[in-house]
Amino acid sequence: MEDFDGRLRRSASLLKEAQSIAVFTGAGISTDSGIADFRSPGGVWDRYRIVTFQEFLSSAEARREYWAMKRELFKEIAGAKPNRAHTAIAELHGTGKLKCVITQNIDGLHQAGGCPPEAVIELHGTNLKALCLECGRTWPYEEIQERLEAGDLEPRCTGCKGLIKPATVSFGQSMPEEELKRAFECTIKSDLMFMIGSSLQVEPAASIPHAAHRAGAKLIFINRTPTPWDHIAEVLFNENASEVMGRLIQTYRQ
């Protein structure tokens, strides 16, 4: 394989040539911020079973299991800070070339790292707020966390008594159609896409880099482990995302 510096230089050249850049990110971009990849050993799904959306709606016991997991997860997310990969993407947006950041993550770190909220497409929602599934009222998630810590293990809406759920997409729950549509529209208009920190195993989001490739975009993959689509990448990094993106921005600006 080409050495690291050589791949950085090729990636910087692609950046300079590009006119419309899209970024697609998964859990691997946030591991340097202290948020464990859900699928990794010791990750959330290693410690808790998956509660589907249908179970959440129908079973009080399942809701309690779900909220126990969320109570622990929020402690990780609340203390997390953007890492160099997040801030490098924000710097890339500042060049005017980056048109959208499509993310599978629910941690809000792209926005915290400096990306304008309107440029971030959250395919799986956000863990930073919660909503009533009945009347639609929303709360900052911190307020729900306080209720969980106080022993309210199955929080309900203070108005209509409907079920409260984080504004995230659960297993068995439909992905937001508008966000998915925006993601594919931005994807097929791009001439360069970064894929950072995703195993590319969860559909339909996993098809987004492939859609960019079919539309003629060059792809730069940054992921610690192989993916099913590595063969379509113009440049492939298996190194740490924050190191790669930090060095790449420096190389690009030189």
Catalytic residue among 86, 93, 110, 124: 124
- Write the single-letter amino acid at 58: S
CA angle 168, 124, 94 (to 5 degrees): 120
Contacts of 133 (CB under 8 A, 6+ apart): 57, 162, 163, 164, 165
What distances in angstroms separate CA 125 from CA 14, 165, 170, 180, 226, one per listed residue?
31, 11, 9, 11, 26
CB-based contact 115:108 (threshold 8 Å): no
Question: Catalytic: 124?
Answer: yes
| Secondary structure of residue 165 in the 3-state scheme | strand
Can you name the residues that pair with 221 across neighbouring β-strands? 195, 236
**Burial code of 66-79, b = ≥16 C-beta within 10 A, e = fewer?**
bbebbeebbebbee
Rounded distance between C-alpha atoms, residue 100 and residue 115, angstroms = 9
Supply 221's token pair. Answer: 């993959």
C-alpha distances in angstroms, 221 versus 43, 210, 226, 232, 238?
23, 12, 10, 9, 8
Give me the active site residues, please: 124
